[in-house]
Structure 1
Amino acid sequence: MAEPVLPIPPRFDADALYFVPLGGAGEIGMNLSLYGTKGRWLMVDLGITFGNESTPGVEVIVPDTSFIEERRDDLVGLVLTHAHEDHLGAVPYLWPFLECPVYATPFAAEFLRHKLREEGLNGDVELVEVAQGERFQVGPFDLELVPTPHSIPEASHLIVRTDHGVTFHTADWKHDPEPLVGNPVDEERLRRLGDEGVHAVVGDSTNIFNKDHTGSEGEVRRSLIELFGRYHGRIAVACFASNIARLESIAVAARANGREVALVGRSLWRMHDTARACGYLTEAPRFLTDEEGAYLPRDKVVYVCTGSQGEPRAALRRIAYDSHPHVTLGSGDVVIFSSRIIPGNERPVLDVQNRLASLGVSIVTSRDALVHVSGHPGAQDVRNLYTWLKPRIVMPVHGERLHLDEHAAEARALGIETVLSTLNGQVVRLDGSDPGVVGAVPVGRFAVDGERLIPLDSEVVRDRRRMAVGGAVVVSLAVDERGRLAAEPRLAARGLLDPKEDAEDLEDMIEVVRGAVASVRPADRGRDEVLEEAVRVAVRRAFRQSQSRRPVTDVHVLRV
């Protein structure tokens, strides 16, 4: 059943407290949340998601921020919970429309500076570094970043204190007793916060279907040390570039087995440089470039590669297709996929794995060995957190609808007073005796298309999608002033007909065009739009009958 359409609140009560997700609620990725009180707004995270086969030509997608752009004079700041792309990746694209201060820990700030430089915004953004555990004031919001283990350094829950109590906005998080980078969860700190009184929790739902605890990075490190010892050829490890603990574990495991580590992929070097600048990777030796690694004996090298999700331009796909300038793999070598497959990426990952197998490369995934643990909480971790915090309200976010519903069920089973499965665009009023959804605001997605942003439901993207499925036809007509053909029509049918192999079919289509022109009444042939529509309809009908396709069809009329 469709969600009910709710009105935009005619006004926002200055004495109230509102929560409005514009991204990340009902989806995984593209996180963007707003808190409003006293006529001011606070933004938490501003992330991206990635295109797929349904969005041809689109790699990066950002949320529609028009609601808060209209109120940007009241936007007091943006707080980033951590440095993953789905939490800060949209800042370089959308900050010029917001122009607010950005608050982040040193690691997230350093990583963001790299991205801002790439977009020509270095020095434009007021970027304020905030230490974890430090309380700071942003407008009417009293804020604090609370450290949490995750798969990237300095992930932080955000405590939002207002006149209406404490709201606990989780980062991506886990309860890891041995995180390797950073400290384990401070249970006593969270219990004290619960004793202080937590009004609401906005919580991560990504891993809620795991009913146990999430595994530990320490366990993965020990497993990698043992696993590397089994192989005598080249070892390549595909992992997320942002997992600094995993990168350090690969280096430790390599050293324990007499190997050196080379980084293969631009994003790995960017994260490496950020981590070194912030005092991380202290247990890791100097990493080699991919070119340096190519000179090592096969049993002395470990490559760390980007492309664990089968990304088309990443290092691992180039290696799999034997097109990388420095790294080659073959019989006796192994690739370890030290990551999970993000839903929707199954096909490209399998394609890369098949290509590697065709080269004689062995494949190891989490089905074969302990080579990956999630950075998100299992259901038992969520239960523990709510037992410590004792919130009155729980709002699941950072998940698709099934994740949100499962998270909500877990919260209700604990006896949480109010559980709200909030979706993007819904306006939740958190104060008062009856918190709940009171309206909705516009939401949407924009594709990053070169130097511009275009709506994901625009004609441009729809045409690309239609062309990917149905092909594209261009017809050129030269007609005289009376609308009679002055030359042979020209027709190109990209993705539909081969000019050499299908010459006869192309000639049949030319006859369809001739017939369409002839069918137009002489009185109407002086109107280009009438000729164009007649030919377009006839050509589309012919392709629908012959190939069951509906190509994007353009007709150009030239008067001679």
Structure 2
Amino acid sequence: MTVPSHDELLFLALGGAGEIGMNLNLYGHAGKWLMIDLGIGFADGTMPGIEVVMPDPAFIEERRDQLVGIVLTHAHEDHLGAVADLWPRLRAPVYATPFAASVLKRKLTEAGLVETVPVTEIPLSGRFSLPPFELELITMTHSILEPNALAIRTPLGTVFHTGDWKIDPEPLLGDVTDEAVLRRIGEEGALAMVCDSTNVFVEGEAGSESTVRANLEKVVKAAKCRVAVTCFASNLARVESIALAAVAADRHPVLSGRALVRMVEAAQECGYLLDFPACIPESQAGFLPRDKVVLICTGSQGEPRASMAKLAKGDHRDLVLEAGDTAVFSSRVIPGNEHSVGRLQNALLARGVEIVTDSDVNVHVSGHPARDELVQVYQWIRPKIAVPVHGELRHMVEHASLARACQVPETIVAPNGTLVRLAPGPAEIVDHVPAGRLARDGDGVVPIDGASLRERRKLLWNGAAAATLVVDGKGQPMAPPKVTLRGFEDEEGVLGKAVVAGLEEMLGDLKAADRADDERLEQAVRTVVRRVVRTHLGKKPLTDVHIVRI
């Protein structure tokens, strides 16, 4: 399949289906493709030196002349964070509401692309045309400003693409979910609903930001000394709640972390948070009495360079947390971040800091729909087909089961790389395409399964060895072999001496023809180094060999 035909409507996720994060969704019809979101995820401990990962857009990169646009549902990193990295491969116009566009432009400025990437701002509830697709933005609620669902209309039917959402009657910042439009889409008839699966295992409803605001005020008022609250920088209703809690407790709020400052600036640029409480600069906050300050910090997921991590390690330039202070985690732990958050909280406890999490007090609500909210929207939209996304496979399978219980006639579980024909029906999987992963490595982007990261992982687990042989044209040694070992305990040089002895023995036994051939000699040296290290330590080191002929 190279070009979608006029009589079919296709759906393909290259990211975000079978995982949480890295969203990249494609719709194909009448010779064209439409991209919804282009986000990042965060690396785990198996990728040394890598913090950010993203979908490999190779499938659509090969067809970029068919790509009519990239539409961003909202400003979270897992929905727009890869645009600056991957846009040069795609070169398609980008569409977003004002707040997402403001956040994106800051990222593009850092990447030197702000004058290159065409970004079109679409007003809330706006309609626009990217032929053969007609699109309508639908206001939802989520844990960020201006989250949008999409009605994607084609001659073969309308797809309701939810983006990230919840139902919150009091989101505190931004508009409530546009129930009237959702009902209208259901009445008009929806072919398919492509929907967030994150909280499908959570009974009831996600909860309201208004409840969190009241509880944060109680926690801050009860604290005796300094208070540091960490949350997602993008959750500006939460950030505002923390600042208002500080003011209510006769304390001064302090924004600690560049991401927080940038998010507040982007919001104010778009007309939000214009009455945000005055904040004390970090450089001056240390002069305030301990009971007169609330630090609003980045780093709720244990990020090592974020403000809360610096406070826990005691190496923040301007601020400090001491015994008797309180650290509040107004966030949930994203799956995969349990160890980093645990290390952070242990470091805080070691300093005598009291920790408050949502297991102690209701200081966090999710931005994603629990089961009752999913059921409600299925009742409003009444799609013919349910396509769960934005979840691990277990979430998607459970979501499909819930959709069937809501009387949805067809469900399709389609992990990344699964090409689905939505129309003409019945919906079916018609192909599978590569759906790889890329990693941001320094200033570049490299394949996760590429040679550089494979070598780095091998170095992490098995160490490295380098051997240099100085020989004449016939391969006779002109000096003793030189061996360097990295990542091994060999303070007395026992292993190094054993490797040198093995190399000298090998050179004495090697045939003259093999000694004279660089490639054969190099392979023989590599074999000896690995065999000796494996015999002593059970490791298979990354091995470099240098042959110097004189």
Task: Please report the TM-score for the alignment, with normalisation by the length of structure 2.
Answer: 0.98
CA distance 1:11–1:105, change in 2 (3 Å): closer
1:37-73 CA distances to partner (integer Å, 9 max, x unpaired)?
1111111000111112111111221211121112211
Partner of 2:430 in structure 1?
438
Partner of 1:331 in structure 2?
323
1:529 aligns to 2:490 (yes or no): no
1:184-228 CA distances to partner (integer Å, 9 max, x unpaired)?
223232112211111100000111110211011110000000111
Partner of 1:319 in structure 2?
311
Q: CA deviation at 1:363?
A: 1.0
CA RMSD after TM alignment: 1.3
1:228-272 CA distances to partner (integer Å, 9 max, x unpaired)?
111111101111110100000001111000111111111111111
Partner of 1:24 in structure 2?
16
Determine the C-alpha separation between the residues in 2 that align with 1:180 and 1:518. 80
Partner of 1:556 in structure 2?
546
Q: CA deviation at 1:520?
A: 1.9
1:542 aligns to 2:532 (yes or no): yes
Partner of 1:240 in structure 2?
232
Give the partner amino acid of 1:63.
P
Secondary structure of the residue that 1:275 maps to in structure 2?
A: helix
Determine the C-alpha separation between the residues in 1 that align with 2:197 and 2:133. 25
1:302 aligns to 2:294 (yes or no): yes
Partner of 2:34 in structure 1?
42
Partner of 2:339 in structure 1?
347
Determine the C-alpha separation between the residues in 2 that align with 1:515 and 1:315. 56
Q: 2:506 aligns with which of 516, 520, 524?
A: 516
Partner of 2:243 in structure 1?
251
The correspondence of residues 126-525 of structure 1 with structure 2, limited to 5 A, is 126-498=118-490, 501-525=491-515
Q: CA deviation at 1:10?
A: 6.1
CA distance 1:44–1:508, change in 2 (3 Å): same
Partner of 1:4 in structure 2?
none
Determine the C-alpha separation between the residues in 2 that align with 1:512 and 1:240. 56
Give the partner amino acid of 1:108.
A
CA contact (8 A) 1:132 1:144 kept: no
CA contact (8 A) 1:248 1:283 kept: no
Determine the C-alpha separation between the residues in 1 that align with 2:52 and 2:509. 46
Q: CA deviation at 1:148?
A: 0.7
CA distance 1:516–1:365, change in 2 (3 Å): farther
Q: CA deviation at 1:452?
A: 2.5
* Percent of matched pairs sharing the same residue: 49
Determine the C-alpha separation between the residues in 1 that align with 2:79 and 2:503. 52
Q: CA deviation at 1:487?
A: 1.5
Bigger shift: residues 518-527 or 339-348: 518-527
Q: CA deviation at 1:97?
A: 1.3
Partner of 2:47 in structure 1?
55
Q: CA deviation at 1:11?
A: 5.2
Give the partner amino acid of 1:77.
G
Secondary structure of the residue that 2:253 maps to in structure 1?
A: strand
Determine the C-alpha separation between the residues in 2 that align with 1:105 and 1:12. 28
CA contact (8 A) 2:499 2:528 kept: no
CA contact (8 A) 2:40 2:54 kept: yes
1:67 aligns to 2:59 (yes or no): yes
Determine the C-alpha separation between the residues in 2 that align with 1:509 and 1:238. 51
Determine the C-alpha separation between the residues in 1 that align with 2:516 and 2:31. 60
Secondary structure of the residue that 2:172 maps to in structure 1?
A: coil
Bigger shift: residues 13-22 or 279-288: 279-288
Determine the C-alpha separation between the residues in 1 that align with 2:160 and 2:144. 20
Determine the C-alpha separation between the residues in 1 that align with 2:279 and 2:270. 17
Partner of 1:3 in structure 2?
none
Determine the C-alpha separation between the residues in 2 that align with 1:135 and 1:236. 42
1:95 aligns to 2:93 (yes or no): no
1:315-339 CA distances to partner (integer Å, 9 max, x unpaired)?
2112111111111111110111111
Secondary structure of the residue that 1:348 maps to in structure 2?
A: helix
Determine the C-alpha separation between the residues in 2 that align with 1:482 and 1:433. 72
Determine the C-alpha separation between the residues in 2 that align with 1:211 and 1:111. 33
Q: CA deviation at 1:277?
A: 0.7
Secondary structure of the residue that 1:525 maps to in structure 2?
A: helix
Q: CA deviation at 1:490?
A: 1.7
Secondary structure of the residue that 2:484 maps to in structure 1?
A: strand
Secondary structure of the residue that 1:160 maps to in structure 2?
A: strand
Q: CA deviation at 1:286?
A: 2.2
Equivalent residue pairs, number:
550
CA contact (8 A) 2:61 2:90 kept: yes
CA distance 1:233–1:141, change in 2 (3 Å): same
1:428-464 CA distances to partner (integer Å, 9 max, x unpaired)?
1111231111112222111122333211111111111
Determine the C-alpha separation between the residues in 2 that align with 1:375 and 1:16. 34
Q: CA deviation at 1:545?
A: 2.0
Give the partner amino acid of 1:524.
D
Bigger shift: residues 37-46 or 184-193: 184-193
CA contact (8 A) 2:160 2:190 kept: yes
Secondary structure of the residue that 2:7 maps to in structure 1?
A: coil
Determine the C-alpha separation between the residues in 2 that align with 1:411 and 1:443. 26
CA distance 1:516–1:215, change in 2 (3 Å): farther
- Runs (5+) with no aligned partner, structure 2: none
CA distance 1:390–1:478, change in 2 (3 Å): same
Give the partner amino acid of 2:514.
D
Q: CA deviation at 1:287?
A: 2.3
Moved over 4 A (4+): none
Determine the C-alpha separation between the residues in 2 that align with 1:442 and 1:281. 43
Give the partner amino acid of 1:529.
E
Bigger shift: residues 273-282 or 508-517: 508-517
Secondary structure of the residue that 2:366 maps to in structure 1?
A: coil
CA distance 1:12–1:140, change in 2 (3 Å): closer
